[in-house]
Structure 1
């Protein structure tokens, strides 16, 4: 209940309350990139705030102490910090640190059309925060990508391919981070440092089944029967672990695949509808528009 006392901030409100000349640059009010060098005073997150966006921090020098959802966290040199949208963040202290921070709204990530299917089994571990010690080369790689994106934002906003360039850099960054996450989670699981509770076990099995059958099966009942559960109980378990229902996950998976095919394949809308086991193009069109907000044809034509 204590978390409900904190106000919730959009990026628009966040940057309106801060002097951007001191903290970096903003892209389209959906992407907030911050570069902080030693000697700079950090005012951002000085007071506890709940941000409706994903936050990624990479520390190159020094050390920073903060709380995420009231849990203490120490970010040191070559450490990557990630927290989910809706987390409560407060900066507690820092020492001559060099930081790169990127804050992304969920809509911005969706517009990048990133294939996140392989990371879904690890979703429960990403609900609070993730803290990963990185090799120097990985840390440098991420820092360089963020620096390049910030430079494009500052110097290229009037150029015709400005948006495409920034999105391409962040697209590369996202896949790099996803690879780091998967390696980290697999290592943690193999070392038995992550123990799955009852609900998380079923969530992992559900996602594994979904990855195998999403092209042909979209009913919660199918997956529940495979797990020897009732649809109602499966929905309850999945909702408790992930905050989303089993039906939501099924829809998300199908729409992710549909978007990828519409954007990158030569298949027609009708071919995609049949490939994803819809009875006809019209039914697929209604389903896709309900989930994505636009028709498959409009989405296919969009850059």
Structure 2
């Protein structure tokens, strides 16, 4: 059985990094990707080592067999299996019989560029849940496959409004997932997903940055301030967040700050100085240094891409 990855736990920060680990050298978007599983994964038995990703993955297994493990809980996969994973969780997979179907991947940054709603409030499973696979009947399998095929069709075309259209279709797809989760039978006696503390942290971070962008607060909180707001010690919060997501409190805050900056640079007419002040930097020069340190580009270079 073919084995991928090294013996250490790797965190993939982009879809391209993950594809490269699979030996896929073709260029893919870093923030959104949808592919047919027929040409995505191996056509021979495969076993991965544990790894993490910092993006969302949705898989529709139309045919094939295997399993995946997430946070040490094993789930079997068979034809008509649908499952998804959220950023930060420790996971691995085994392919026993080649999978056919679809794999959809996207980042929080991508969907928030064109969706103005409250993402995690509307779709709380994107924050809180690691869900067992849903085994679909024939009609549901056809419905989900058709929606993913439509996303793939739009992804493979060129249009001035390509990503706006993809996002609208993606939002409709997430509502369908939400509907399926309401209807799926609950597994008794098992808890899946992040601990309540990490869920509270994720939701607090999302609300906090919404307040930053709207001007309701005048500073981006550090880990100590967030821990205080959640009424826990910073050491305990930091330890739990790192253990469950693979990222430190500082990394979560930095990544979110950069994501908000990138969205404003690409999707607003605000000047770089105005963006710096909106993100509570007292000096635009400091914002430029911070942005370049964490992305490799100056804000102007990123905007001009």
TM-score interval, normalised by the smaller of the two chains: 0.5 to 0.7
* Contact map agreement 1:34 1:102 (CA 8 A) in 2: yes
Q: Cα distance, 1:149 vs. partner?
A: 3.9
Q: 2:199 — aligned with what? A: 204
Q: 2:14 — aligned with what? A: none
Which of 22, 33, 50 is equivalent to 1:14? 22
Which of 89, 96, 99 is equivalent to 2:93? 89
* Contact map agreement 1:113 1:259 (CA 8 A) in 2: no
Q: Cα distance, 1:227 vs. partner?
A: 1.7
Alignment map for 1:163-242 (pairs within 5 Å): 175-176=171-172, 178-180=174-176, 195=191, 200-214=195-209, 215=212, 216-242=219-245
**Matches of 2:178 and 2:78, distance apart in 1:** 20
Change (3 A) 1:192 1:218: farther
Which of 292, 296, 299 is equivalent to 1:289? 292
- Number of matched residues? 265
**Matches of 2:262 and 2:29, distance apart in 1:** 24
Q: 1:273 — aligned with what? A: 276
Which of 136, 143, 166 is equivalent to 1:137? 143
**Matches of 2:247 and 2:21, distance apart in 1:** 27
Q: Cα distance, 1:266 vs. partner?
A: 1.4
**Matches of 2:183 and 2:279, distance apart in 1:** 34
Gaps of 5+ in 2: 11-16, 114-118, 213-218
Q: Cα distance, 1:257 vs. partner?
A: 1.6
Change (3 A) 1:56 1:203: closer
Gaps of 5+ in 1: 18-25, 153-160
Deviations 1:38-73 (A, max 9, x none): xxxx9535121348877543245xx43212138242
Q: Cα distance, 1:281 vs. partner?
A: 0.7
* Contact map agreement 1:269 1:296 (CA 8 A) in 2: yes
Q: 1:157 — aligned with what? A: none
